[in-house]
């Protein structure tokens, strides 16, 4: 099922250590440092709030402060910019 929303795509901490991709299927994939897919699971977005259900069983949430800033798990994530080709 496709879930179109304005928050899809890659979100990255300022230091680049954590990279979280919100996929259009309602799944996410989070890399930590060199470890790809360190956390995976599903997510739902309601308004400016995001709720996570990790495949290992834990849950988390976050808040989009604007279209380019996500506060989640004590971190601030920024939307990764795509370079025009």
Q: Give the residue, 25 or 3, on which the prediction is more confident.
A: 25
Average pLDDT score over residue span 76-82: 89
Task: Please report the pLDDT score of residue 79 as a whole number.
Answer: 96
Q: How far apart are CA 7 and CA 12, in angstroms?
A: 13
Q: How does pLDDT run across 11-56, given as a tens digit for each residue? A: 999 999 999 999 999 999 999 999 999 999 999 999 999 999 999 9
Q: How far apart are CA 55 and CA 48, in angstroms?
A: 23
Q: So where are the chain's domains?
A: 9-79
Task: Please report the pLDDT score of residue 2 as a whole number.
Answer: 46
Among candidate residues 14, 70, 18, 3, the one with its CA nearest the CA of residue 62: 70
- Tell me the pTM: 0.88
Question: Is the pLDDT assigned to residue 3 strictly greater than 90?
Answer: no
Q: How far apart are CA 18 and CA 6, in angstroms?
A: 20
Give the CATH fold of the 9-79 domain: Lipocalin (2.40.128)
């Amino acid at each position: 099922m496709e879930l179109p929303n304005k928050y899809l795509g890659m979100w990255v901490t300022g230091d680049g250590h954590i990279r979280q991709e919100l996929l259009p299927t309602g799944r996410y994939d989070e890399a930590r440092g060199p470890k790809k897919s360190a956390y995976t699971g599903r997510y739902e977005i309601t308004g400016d709030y995001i709720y996570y259900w990790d495949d290992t069983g834990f849950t988390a949430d976050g808040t989009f402060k604007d279209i380019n800033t996500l506060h989640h798990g004590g971190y601030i994530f920024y939307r990764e910019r795509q370079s025009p080709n």
